[in-house]
């Protein structure tokens, strides 16, 4: 009897001991999962911290988007043209009509050169401020869809857009005509050609050449700076037009290039009052089929003239660009892609004759671009002579 009682007590103690060990083990697991250190929890679930951060970022973006588009739905505060009582209509309908009319006026003001958009109201200024904040954080401007392309592709507003003014052989502005491949009329008052190149030397360079996007490259790694150096050499050695060539780099990052280049170009113009022509040389970012011309069986970089309409001297600059387009057609028919007018400034408001030229594209080689530069140099020299010497 005593022996059986002893065995029963020993078995009971063993069961209690095993149960206690099991409880301690489970409590250890519970500690690791619930109350353990942060480092231990991260070891248990390594991807959870990253998922939390991604979820928080997504929620913030969704809230900002909802806030922005919610504000866009607010009615624009603008006094109606006549009171609701005199018009006999309901005020809500007139407010909606006023907002719609203002929207149409803004579109027309941005698209038609010379037509000013309506003055910005308080809500418009708030939207602009919110857009600037969004642009500074993400690089995307809701008012400019091209900023998405500029951020992703680095090509900005000039993405396969149609040319506004196609190539033409009609001389603009009443200037003397030039025949393709000729140097103007056969006889001139001084007994030479109509273009007495090389021109006499200047005390200071009359042309400023620079690149807003100096890092733009062609195939095999050559940049637009190589083309700029050759163009400056041709204008100086062959046509007697000395060039002040500025090699500053402003497009890293690309989206702020025009803003960074502006004060530097302003300073250069202030220190060199004799500059009569400013050239901003680029290469395009559209497919090769659009940026390549074939002359005498050779592929060359096609030339596009870009004119910004948001500057006070827009008409004067356009007159010069149209004459340059005509001279390009006279020198090398088919080399020019025409004139592209855009509702931007491109820093062309810094000088009455500030022009933007694109030669070739990112799918062209530097050799193809160099082949087209002698024609561009001759057309520039002709246009310069007609505007600044003959007159």
Q: Where are the domains of the chain?
A: 2-46, 207-390
What is the 8-class DSSP label of residue 351? Answer: S
Phi-psi region of 306 (alpha: psi -120 to 50; beta: other; left: phi over 0): beta
The CA–CA distances, whole Å, from 247 to 24, 250, 267, 280 equal 74, 10, 15, 11
Instruction: Decide if domain 207-390 falls under CATH 3.30.450.20.
Output: no
Q: With both helix axes pointing from N to C terminus, report the angle between 224-237 and 366-384 in degrees, rounded to the nearest 10.
A: 40
pLDDT at 45: 58
Give the residue among 163, 146, 144, 164 at the shortest CA–CA distance from 155: 146
- Whether residue 159 is predicted with pLDDT greater than 50 in this model: the reply is no
Q: Which percentage of the chain shows pLDDT scores above 70?
A: 55
Per DSSP bridges, beta strands 207-210 and 243-245 are: parallel
Residue 84 C-beta-side C-alpha neighbours within 13 Å: 11
pLDDT at 135: 65
- Whether residue 34 is predicted with pLDDT greater than 60 in this model: the reply is no
pLDDT at 383: 96
- Whether residue 315 is predicted with pLDDT greater than 70 in this model: the reply is yes
pLDDT at 192: 37
What mean pLDDT comes out for the span 264-272? 97
Per DSSP bridges, beta strands 303-308 and 354-361 are: antiparallel
Q: How confident is the model at residue 85 (pLDDT cuts 50, 70, 90)?
A: very low
Q: Is there a contact between 305 and 391 (Cβ–Cβ < 8 Å)?
A: no
Give the residue among 312, 299, 317 at the shortest CA–CA distance from 361: 299
Mean pLDDT, the chain, whole residue set? 75
DSSP 73-117: TSPP----SS-HHHHTS-HHHHHHHHHHHHHHHHHHHHHSTT-PP
Q: Of 55-59, 62-66, 331-335, which range is least confident?
A: 62-66
Q: Is there a contact between 105 and 112 (Cβ–Cβ < 8 Å)?
A: no
pLDDT at 122: 63
Q: How confident is the model at residue 15 (pLDDT cuts 50, 70, 90)?
A: low
What mean pLDDT comes out for the span 186-212? 70
Residue 193 or 338, more confident:
338
- Three-state DSSP at 387 gives helix
Q: How confident is the model at residue 343 (pLDDT cuts 50, 70, 90)?
A: confident
Residue 110 or 215, more confident:
215
- Whether residue 363 is predicted with pLDDT greater than 90 in this model: the reply is yes
What mean pLDDT comes out for the span 348-353? 95
Residue 383 C-beta-side C-alpha neighbours within 13 Å: 30
Helix (H) or strand (E) holding 140: none
Q: Which percentage of the chain shows pLDDT scores above 90?
A: 42
pLDDT at 238: 93
What mean pLDDT comes out for the span 142-150? 61
Strand order in the sheet with 354-361: 243-245, 207-210, 277-284, 354-361, 303-308, 336-342
Spatial neighbors of 134 by CB under 8 A, at least 6 apart, are 64, 68, 140, 141, 142
pLDDT at 197: 82
Q: Of 110-114, 316-320, 350-354, which range is least confident?
A: 110-114
Per DSSP bridges, beta strands 298-301 and 292-295 are: antiparallel
Q: What is the dihedral of CA 350, 353, 354, 356, to 10 degrees?
A: 160
- Whether residue 189 is predicted with pLDDT greater than 50 in this model: the reply is no
- Whether residue 310 is predicted with pLDDT greater than 80 in this model: the reply is yes
Residue 204 or 15, more confident:
204
- Whether residue 104 is predicted with pLDDT greater than 80 in this model: the reply is no
In sign, the C-alpha dihedral spanning 82, 85, 87, 93 is positive
- pLDDT for 162-177, tens place per residue? 455 655 545 665 555 5
Give the residue among 146, 210, 144 at the shortest CA–CA distance from 347: 210
- Three-state DSSP at 295 gives strand
Q: Of 68-72, 245-249, 337-341, 346-350, which range is least confident?
A: 68-72
């Amino acid at each position: 009897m005593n022996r059986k009682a002893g065995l029963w007590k020993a078995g009971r103690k063993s069961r209690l001991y095993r149960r206690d060990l099991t409880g301690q083990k489970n409590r250890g697991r519970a500690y690791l999962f619930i109350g353990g250190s942060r480092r231990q929890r991260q070891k248990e679930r390594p991807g959870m911290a990253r998922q939390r951060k991604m979820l928080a970022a997504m929620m913030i973006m969704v809230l900002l988007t909802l806030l922005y588009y919610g504000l866009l739905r607010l009615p624009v505060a603008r006094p109606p043209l006549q009171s609701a009582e005199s018009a006999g209509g309901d005020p809500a309908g007139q407010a909606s009509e006023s907002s719609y009319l203002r929207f149409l006026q803004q579109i027309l003001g941005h698209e038609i050169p010379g037509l000013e958009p309506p003055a910005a109201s308080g809500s418009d200024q708030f939207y602009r401020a919110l857009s600037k904040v969004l642009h500074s954080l993400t690089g995307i401007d809701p008012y400019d869809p091209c900023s998405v392309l500029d951020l992703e592709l680095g090509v900005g507003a000039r993405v396969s857009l149609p040319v506004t003014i196609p190539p033409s052989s009609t001389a603009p502005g009443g200037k003397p005509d030039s025949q393709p491949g000729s140097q103007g009329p056969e006889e001139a008052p001084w007994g030479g050609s109509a273009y007495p190149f090389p021109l006499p030397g200047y005390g200071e360079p009359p042309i400023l050449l620079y690149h807003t996007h100096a890092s733009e490259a062609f195939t095999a790694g050559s940049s637009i700076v190589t083309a700029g150096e050759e163009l400056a050499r041709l204008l100086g050695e062959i046509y007697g037009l000395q060039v002040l060539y500025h090699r500053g780099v402003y497009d890293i990052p690309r989206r702020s290039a025009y803003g960074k280049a502006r004060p530097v170009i302003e300073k250069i113009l202030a220190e060199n009052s004799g500059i009569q022509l400013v050239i901003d040389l680029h290469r395009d970012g559209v497919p090769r089929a659009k940026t390549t011309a074939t002359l005498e069986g050779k592929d060359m970089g096609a030339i596009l003239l870009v004119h910004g309409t948001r500057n006070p001297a827009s008409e004067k600059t356009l007159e010069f660009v149209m004459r340059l387009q005509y001279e390009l057609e006279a020198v090398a028919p088919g080399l020019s892609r025409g004139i592209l007018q855009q509702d931007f400034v491109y820093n062309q408001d810094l000088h009455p004759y500030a022009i933007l030229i694109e030669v070739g594209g990112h799918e062209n080689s530097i050799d193809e671009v160099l082949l087209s530069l002698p024609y561009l140099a001759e057309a520039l020299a002709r246009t310069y002579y007609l505007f600044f010497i003959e007159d």
